[in-house]
Amino acid sequence: MRWLYDAANKEQAIDILMKYARQARKDLEEAYDYQVTKLKLYGLDGDVSDKVYDKMAEGLVEIGFIKKPFPPKSAIFDGSFVQQATN
């Protein structure tokens, strides 16, 4: 996660997202800026805290991307890889 948060890696991170997400670069840049730069969505251990998830979901409601009630964190983020890596 430290690599992701290093601004020097932003362009490469977006390039990787473009390869797998198959979305417009502009959309991925906005997602990176929101999730990584503004929210700091991912903890350094790779997990997403409940507090940060709620903040992200509220932001998505505000811009009309999703409606309340938003799905639980477990429906979107699979933290099992984090648990396996730390055990």
Compute the distance between CA of residue 73 and CA of residue 57 in angstroms, rounded to an integer.
9
Compute the distance between CA of residue 52 and CA of residue 80 in angstroms, rounded to an integer.
18
pLDDT tens-digit readout, 50-79: 888 898 888 888 888 888 998 888 888 887
- Identify the pLDDT of residue 86: 67
Distances (CA, A) of 15 to 25, 29, 62, 65: 8, 10, 28, 23
| Residue 66 belongs to domain spanning | 2-86
- Identify the pLDDT of residue 60: 82
- Identify the pLDDT of residue 56: 83
Q: Tell me the one-letter amino acid at 60.
A: L
Count of domains forming the chain: 1
DSSP 8-56: GGHHHHHHHHHHHH---HHHHHHHHIIIIIIS--S-TTS---HHHHHHH
